Structure 1
């Protein structure tokens, strides 16, 4: 049986409470709104909307997308339980992307202005939040580097490794898991055509590194897959 990564309803603690005293944790939990269900295919927030809350994912899976002026949709990331959504809006106070549930999901909202105020009272909370923001910056730079330096096989391998590591942190199998996103979404995120994704899937199978059947993933040789994308395997997608 898999070990659950989320041990209680206060999922924000997974991200923000490291080093925080009990009073700070209590006050942080008090900022959280009641659970909000988001059905598969529904938007949690949309590009251009004003920032009201940050969201912690209690269960489920999301993709974030950006729409160009020409109406083309670009997938910018995938988020799972224990992660936060909405930090793209902090600088302008408006969301630069839309968050769409890939499966039926549950989130908690955290009022951003109140979170800022609480951070001034508890430095540990402020440090943790700054680390989350720093992680977002590192993520963005890593994606750009991946697009500029990796071939299609390496991009897909890095994507699978990233998911593998994130599932492992949550107590799930790092070598056998289900993709919650369509291959079209993966292609958009990785900057590849669908036919290129299909060829990359075939090559990873031929190299005995990973098998993808529909949405089922089996990593056959985890060390070998890591060697295939040496410097990128620990970065967050």
Structure 2
């Protein structure tokens, strides 16, 4: 992807809309919609790196209630011709083809590589990457197993959604959430993961969410690990102008 003059690529992650309740989440949703409305003016593309919703499950004919302003704004942006890319997180890992069919937004379940100008990127949500986090990795295999997804689909949505929302907030093993404090370069799994990836292939930027902690860390020669933060505490996002990557606060 080549960036025309005065165009930028935007990145955001970990909005967790719907948490802790729809009512308390609503002001954050309004703020995010305002941000989308602002960045569409010079966006060449927008990347959403997961956990847009605190819970999401697609039944064959039903999706979770709410979020209409966000979905409407994303539809407007796509209809205007601006590409939007979505990477599932650990809270919306049951997303399938609703975004693709209704909004024309591709959905990715793992990291993807991109080249913007002369810079190479590895982009993903970041859950389950790197060493450690073995309990969550085992749980994720269960949650993404087609048989268990089929069993869950037999629950009435009023029961299934309520149960999943409760577990999403209460059970950190299921949610995969980590403490939002910097653990040091030797203990941050995504930093270790990025350094390990550099052993086999060079990237200029590793862009992830999941940690809810905005940071930029040099992981190699001309290589940086970036975490986008969140839209709960920090309201931060990433922007690439063709030359440099910045984390900004909205």
Asked if Structure 1 and Structure 2 have the same fold, meaning a TM-score greater than 0.5 normalized by the shorter chain, the answer is: no
Structure-2-length-normalised TM-score: 0.25
Structure-1-length-normalised TM-score: 0.25
